[in-house]
Structure 1
Amino acid sequence: MKTDIQHPSYQRDREAVIQLTQELVRIDSVYRGEEVPGANEEKVAHYVADRLRSYGIETHVEEVAPGRPNVIGIVDSGKPGPVLLFEGHTDVVTEGNREAWTHDPFGAEIIDGRMYGRGTNDTKGNLSCMITAVHSLLQDEEEICGKIILCIPCDEEGLMIGIKDFIKKGWADGVDGAIICEPEENNVCIAQRGAMRIQVDIYGKMAHGAISWSGINPNWRMARLIVELEKLEKEEQERLGEDPYLKWPSITPTILQAPVKGDAQINVIPDHCRMTLDIRTVPAQDHGELRSKIDRIIEKLKADDPDFNCELTLLDDRPPTATDKDEPVVRAIWEAVKQVTGKEPIYNGVPGATDGTFLHVHGVPIVTIGAGDRDIPHQIDEYVDIEELAETTAIYRDAALRFLNGEVRKDG
């Protein structure tokens, strides 16, 4: 079994994945809110579903929210064996200011070996790789055991309602391994940072800025909290050290808003200040313990200041993940990367959460790998190298054969 660049399928699949990536990127799938008809993943999801059906793949389309469907493809060999899941989402982040782009964000132009556009890197390129890889197996009538599930959810860039719905409806039950198709420079990523998103509301009393003693300024209270949270971040970093794949845990204030409602004025003390925290964790951290440390900070601030009126709201909680190197899905990917590239694979970690986070919580071993510079997602003039798309397609194809047919080793 060979799936390297000398394999007869390589050039065919290279042309196919480039074409499919261009077609998907040219369909705007930014979620722009329910008030904008068609401004979501619906068009690209139906396009993908039609493509899967044209390949003879059993296809299901399930609406998760209005205009926001999941697509599920099933390739069942009819033989007993493991279940392998490929996951790649259909949504992309906003293009932002179009005038700042050198290239049309939805043009999928190819210039000097790179394809430019929103989603080329994150992650329509890798979605195209996984679809092309599975189609390649079907075209070549490769013998496999078990089953392949193509999980193509909406809303990975938001609250991940797509993957949550996929799991809730039972599609992930019985899955033995999942390949999460995200831009990781084809590093074999076996860990992910967790995420806690917290909204902090501090309430005060509105007053004239020149008569500050007649009010209660929530901004001073928020400033004290931020200083204490920075100390907590440093304590956690010193306690845990640098993770070999994920670097440092972090506590990051992102949005600061005061007043929360109404117009801001320079001579008015607001009655309400709000902050959001983007907390990123490593596998050695426990989210419950970290939340308790934050609660204790607030309790101390309240004890020191009877006017410290603070509320915390947990918006999202995604645990960190770690997968053992000896898991069959990791071994299959590791061996496929070595076969296709001829180089020693690099183990690494994902700096943020992915849909794989919730598959991991469900008990599915995950590995994250795909084409694309790890620093390019969400940037202006996002791009992917087209040769890397071809390479990734070959890696996915090879890994699927190894995993489904039990051709993986525990050494190496």
Structure 2
Amino acid sequence: MVRNQLVSQIDQAVESLTDELTEFACTIFGIPTQNPPGNNYRQCAEAIGAMMQKIGMDVEYVEVPQERLSELAPRGEGLPRISVVGYLGDKAQRPNIHFTGHYDVVPEGTGWTTDPYGCEIRDGNIYARGSADQKSGIVSEVIAAYALQKAGLKLKGTLIASATPDEETGGQAGVGYMVEQGYFTRESTDYCVITECLDVDKVCIGHRGTLWFEIDITGRQSHGSMPSEGVNALEFAQRLMQAIDEDIRPLIAEPTPLPVQPPACRQTTLTPTILQAGEKINTVPGSCRIGYDWRLIPELSVEWAKEQITAVCEKVKASMPGSDYTIHYLGEDNPTLVPKDTDLVNTFLANGKTYLGREMEFSVSPGMDDQKYVVQKGKLDHCIVYGPGRLTLAHKSDEYASIEEMKMAAKIMALSAVDLLGLAE
């Protein structure tokens, strides 16, 4: 088939599906899948599965066993964790490309000027919590499959589209469980595209690392008029913050040359987020809790970061006899980075240029995402992040997804699937 004809066929097929894309988007955007705790997961997964079946995909549901929910979704209140997987073609046929996105969303929060689940359409944008981050990516991957069907383009291999839960709380019961079950591994998958909200004109090749931790500090309570009789746990926290500024921040001042987006996140960020101490104005606190969100550029590791935190805690403890501390690590993921020069990356770069009319850019995500499971546990380097949602809208009030950008992403996904898998004769 002549290249221009192929590009035009996919373009026309996606454009003809504008109304159905919009209806599908509003259907799943309008389902409040807040996580935690994980509301309405079954309803959303089945709505996505129904759309997949409508376009002729074979559909399966993968549910976390009840007895493992407390382990994999400890904040999930026992609610079900369900992934839906659709196959365009024989599920056993290779090569394959697996597009996947998460359907859980953060709580809506405050400051909205419209109903967070009302799906108001203004200026070609659909306003809803989770529209950008990242149900829009699910819409695009399903519409990409639909467009190939409508254009009469039969792949040599198999296009797989899936939607998973729980990315917003770490993903253990979503892609983490799917990797454990043999999905998204080097043995089962040739190419993987996480349809997370890293912008329609960027190919994301990795993400920064994450270390979330709280430090419980113990001292000795005393009367405020006799502070020498106590050991002030809040003062320990104060000295600890100073030690972090003096000992750790100089070690993380150098930015990465990698294209982390937004550019301000090209430096390691070590952000205090919790400080809890004291019950009464005239009582020296005997306990305190301080928490940090540490995002690590790809050149650093979680193990190294833990060594630095322990060192400064020991330093402060030595300066305050009678004090102690316990570090609780609440989340830890090493940075993820895949090669820039692979068939998957180059295909998306080329096809992005074809439809956008300009060069695509590389990016690295400032926060962790499900790519970590596919690359680190599934051992699959052919895994990028590409989706239509705008990163800068994630978790904000008045979040929206652009209908045109969802269509654009679907075109790029569909053409890339053809290039990577080939067309059947």
**TM-score, normalisation: structure 1:** 0.90
> Which of 240, 251, 258 lines up with 2:277 in the alignment?
258
Separation of aligned partners in 2, 1:104 and 1:5: 37
CA 1:116–1:292: 2 relative to 1, 3 Å:
same
Distance in 1 between residues matched to 2:248 and 2:311, nearest whole Å:
14
> How many Å apart are 1:77 and its aligned residue?
4.1
Say if 1:204 and 1:217, in contact at 8 Å, map to a contact too. yes
> Which residues in structure 2 correspond to 1:10-409 (within 5 Å)?
10-33=14-37, 39-64=39-64, 65=69, 66-77=79-90, 81-97=94-110, 100-161=111-172, 162-173=174-185, 174-186=188-200, 187-238=202-253, 240-246=254-260, 247-258=266-277, 264-361=279-376, 362-365=378-381, 366-405=383-422
- Which residues of structure 2 form unaligned runs of 5+? 70-78, 261-265
Contact 1:76–1:148 (8 Å) recurs in 2: yes
Give, in whole Å, the separation in 2 of the partners of 1:145 and 1:219.
64
Q: Contact between 2:10 and 2:414, CA under 8 Å: does it hold in 1?
A: no
What amino acid does structure 1 have at the position aligned with 2:82? P
- Matched residues, percent identical? 26
Mapped contact 1:233–1:251 kept (Cα < 8 A) = no
CA shift in 2, pair 1:378/1:218, >3 Å: same
Tell me how many residue pairs correspond in the alignment. 395
Question: Distance between the aligned counterparts of 1:111 and 1:396, measured in 2?
Answer: 26
Structure 1 residues 211 and 114 mapped into 2: Cα distance closer, same or farther (>3 Å)?
A: same
- What code does the residue aligned with 2:191 have? G
Q: SS of the counterpart of 1:394?
A: helix
State the alpha-carbon separation in 2 of the partners of residues 29 and 332 from structure 1.
33
Q: Relative to 1, partners in 2 of residues 1:110 and 1:4: Cα closer, same or farther, differing over 3 Å?
A: farther
Deviations 1:260-312 (A, max 9, x none): xxxx3323333321122211112211221221122222222222222230111
Question: What's the CA shift for 1:79?
Answer: 8.1
C-alpha change, 1:374 and 1:221, in structure 2 (3 Å) is same
1:357 aligned counterpart, secondary structure: helix
Unaligned runs of 5+ in 1: 407-412
The DSSP-based 3-state class of the residue aligned with 1:60 is strand
Matched residue type, 2:219: G
Residue 324 of structure 1 and its aligned partner are, at CA, apart by 1.3
Q: Distance in 1 between matches of 2:295 and 2:62?
A: 31
Please give the alpha-carbon distance, in whole angstroms, between the structure 2 residues aligned to 1:3 and 1:236. 49
- Maintained 8 Å contact 2:41/2:165: yes
TM-score w.r.t. length of structure 2: 0.87
| CA displacement at 1:58 relative to structure 2 | 2.1
Kindly report the root-mean-square deviation, in angstroms, between the aligned alpha carbons of the 2 structures.
2.1
Letter in 2 for 1:387: E
